[in-house]
Amino acid sequence: MMLGKLEQFIHADDALDPLVKLALVHYQFEAIHPFFDGNGRTGRLINILFLVHKGLLDLPVLYLSKYIIDRKPEYYRRLRRVTENGEWEAWVLYLLEAVENTSVSTRQRILAIRKLLDETLELAKRKLPARVYSKDLIELIFHQPYTKGQFVVAAGLAERQTAAEYLKELEGIGVLSPRKVGRENLYLNVKLYELLAK
């Protein structure tokens, strides 16, 4: 029943600023606390999906969880103060600051990844044999921090044996680093991983 009312509130056509509404939705979900476990994770996921739903994000790339987790005592204190004292303004300002801080750091990270991609494209163009270099291959190894031959094959860039050779060539110029995981050979895009781990 309470979740149903929250859903109606989320989809209501009202004059509330979407970021203020985000703060209200997040508080209400946490106050309902519908699950035995995972309410925090689910609430933070709802934040991002709400921003996408409202057209404030094209993709769910804003990692608000880091801001909240890094400031967990303050987060719980502010939630409690809304419940106990009705301190809504401080709560809304806290969540607005979270969105602003996370937006700035996310933008910086995206620009850093873009710069790394451009540098890697240039390095690969200079150092890889012409038969190996392709923009599509370099972009593929930026889809996630690790790759494997099967990804290269699935992308239609090479057959299995050739894909393995391509990855070895990228290892040879220092772009990828091999990792054995069980019986599988993975290749870590080390600089991309380091950017994402910050």
**In the CATH hierarchy, which top-level class contains the domain 2-109?**
mainly alpha
Are 171 and 187 spatial neighbours (Cβ–Cβ below 8 Å)? yes
**In the CATH hierarchy, which top-level class contains the domain 128-197?**
mainly alpha
* E strands in the chain: 146-147, 176-181, 184-189
Report residue 55 as tokens. Answer: 């057209």
Q: What is the pTM of this model?
A: 0.81
At 19-47, the pLDDT tens digits run 999 999 999 999 999 999 999 899 999 99
What residue spans define the domains of the chain?
2-109, 128-197
- The vertex-140 CA angle with 134 and 123, nearest 5°, equals 50
pLDDT tops 90 at residue 198: no
Instruction: For residues 56 and 51, give the distance between their C-alpha atoms in angstroms, rounded to a whole number.
Output: 5
At 61-95, the pLDDT tens digits run 898 988 999 999 999 999 999 999 999 999 999 99
